[in-house]
Amino acid sequence: MCDGYSNNAIAQRLGISVLESLTVTPHNVGPQPVHTPVLVREVVEALAGAAAGAIIDCTVGEGGHTEAILNAAPDCVVIGLDRDPSALATATERLADHGDRVRLVNASYTTLAEQARFLADVPVMGVLLDLGLSSLQLESDDRGFSFQRDAPLDMRFGPDDSLTADDVVNRYTERDLAWVLYQFGEERQSRRVAKAIVQRRLIRGTAHLAEVVQGALGRRGRIHPATRTFQGIRMEVNHEVDAIRTALAEAEQTLHPGGRLVVISYHSIEDRLVKTTLRESRVLKVLTKKPITPSAEEVALNARSRSARMRAAERLDEGNAFK
C-alpha cells in the first residue's frame, strides 16, 4: 500500500500501467553505505507516462533513481546533475554500463534549463527532483549533515560553496539565527535555541551543537530535539527554498508538452512549496491531488523513506494551458 493506494491505484491516478519488473542493482563502493532510492517504483511509473526522450535527474546522487529509469526505459537518455563531486563519482561507477545513455554533470539543479540546452539532443520528457539527502552525505564523517556522528559544521551540498554551517552557528546574530531556525526548521522554540547557541559559542562541531540544543529543549519522544535545528541550518547554508523555486520554474519551461515533472520532498516546507507551485501553474496539470507516500514495506526496509512525499505533474501544450 502507498498512502492508502495499491500500485494499481497509483498507476491509474498517473494514467499509466504498473511496471511488474523493476531492477535496481545493489551497489557499494568500498566501505561506503549502500544507497537505496526512495519511491523508486512510483518514480519510474510516473515518468513512464511520458514519451521517449531525455529525462533530467536533478539530484542524481549515487545513481539509484537514474539506474532504475535507464533499466525500465531503454529508449531514454538521462542527464544527471549533482553539486556533490563525491556522489557523482559513485554514480559514474554505478552507471558505467549504460554508456552514452547517461550524461553526468557537476552542477546545481538551478541550472537545469542550461544543462538541457547543452546536453539534450532529444526533447526533455521528464524531470525528477529528489530533495532528500543521500546515505553518502548522511554517513560522511566530515560533512556535518547528521547529529548521529561528530563532524565539522559544514552542511554544504557542494565543496565550492562559500557559506558553511559554522558561519551560521557561530557568526549569525541571535536574532538572525532564530529567524533561520523558525523559517527553515519550523522550530517553535527558535529563540530559546538561538539564545543557547549564542551563549555557548564557540560551537565546535555537530555533536556539540546537538548537545546545546538538547540542553535548551530537553529530550522527549523519539525525534531528537536537534532535528529541526539541523534542518534549518542546512537549508540556510544551501539556499534551498530559493533553489527549489528556481528549479521548478526551469523544469516548467524545459519540459516538452506531455513531459512529466516528479518531485520527492521530505518535510512540510518543501512539500508546501511544491504543492503550491504545481497548483498555481498555468502549464502544468497536477497528476497527484494527494502526495504519494512510501509503502509500509518500503519504510520497514528503509526507515529514511518514511517522511517522503511524491507529487507529479504533466506539461501541457501551450494551446491547452490553464487560463
Q: What is the DSSP string of 236-304?
A: HHTTHHHHHHHHHHHHHHHSPTT-EEEEEE-SHHHHHHHHHHHHH-SSEEES-SS-B---HHHHHH-GG
Output the domain CATH number for residue 85: 3.40.50.150
In a domain, 166, yes or no: yes
Indicate whether 13 and 122 sit together in one domain: yes
Q: Are 14 and 46 in contact (CB under 8 A)?
A: yes
Mean pLDDT over 110-114 rounds to 95
Last residue of a domain, one of 237, 261, 276: 237
pLDDT at 21: 35
Indicate whether 245 and 187 sit together in one domain: no
Indicate whether 100 and 197 sit together in one domain: no
Domain count for the chain? 2
Indicate whether 74 and 188 sit together in one domain: no
Q: How far lies 21's CA from each of 18, 39, 63, 105, 128, in Å?
A: 9, 15, 19, 29, 20
- Structural domain containing residue 216: 162-237
pLDDT confidence tier of residue 36, bands split at 50, 70 and 90: confident
Q: What are phi and psi of 140, to 5 degrees?
A: -65, 145
Indicate whether 110 and 257 sit together in one domain: yes
Indicate whether 252 and 291 sit together in one domain: yes
In a domain, 278, yes or no: yes
Residue 143: pLDDT over 70: yes
Q: Which residue has the cell 554533470?
A: 105
Higher pLDDT, 235 or 30: 235
Last residue of a domain, one of 237, 255, 275: 237
In a domain, 152, yes or no: no
pLDDT at 75: 87
Indicate whether 34 and 85 sit together in one domain: yes
Indicate whether 185 and 304 sit together in one domain: no
- Start-to-end CA distance of the chain, whole Å, equals 36
Residue 196: pLDDT over 90: yes
Left, alpha or beta for 63 (phi > 0: left; psi -120 to 50: alpha)?
left
Q: Which residue has the cell 519522544?
A: 221
Indicate whether 49 and 178 sit together in one domain: no
Last residue of a domain, one of 198, 220, 237: 237
In a domain, 201, yes or no: yes
Indicate whether 39 and 111 sit together in one domain: yes
Half-sphere exposure at residue 310, Cβ-oriented, CA atoms within 13 angstroms: 30
Mind giving me the DSSP string for 125-171?
EEEEEE-SPPHHHHT-SSS---TTS---S---SSTT-S--HHHHHHH
> Among 102, 33, 104, which residue's Cα sits nearest to residue 67?
102
Mean pLDDT over 208-220 rounds to 94
Indicate whether 33 and 94 sit together in one domain: yes
- 49-58, 127-136, 229-238: which has the highest mean pLDDT? 229-238
Output the domain CATH number for residue 207: 1.10.150.170
pLDDT confidence tier of residue 4, bands split at 50, 70 and 90: very low
User: Any idea what the Cα angle at residue 120 is, between residues 235 and 317, rounded to 5°?
Assistant: 85
Q: Cα–Cα distance between 74 and 147 in angstroms, integer?
A: 41
Q: Cα–Cα distance between 127 and 261 in angstroms, integer?
A: 5
C-alpha cell at 43: 518514480
In a domain, 196, yes or no: yes
User: pLDDT tens digits, residue range 252-294?
Assistant: 999 999 999 999 999 999 999 999 999 999 999 999 999 999 9
- How many C-beta atoms surround the C-beta of residue 164 within 10 A? 18
Indicate whether 100 and 125 sit together in one domain: yes
Mean pLDDT over 288-305 rounds to 92
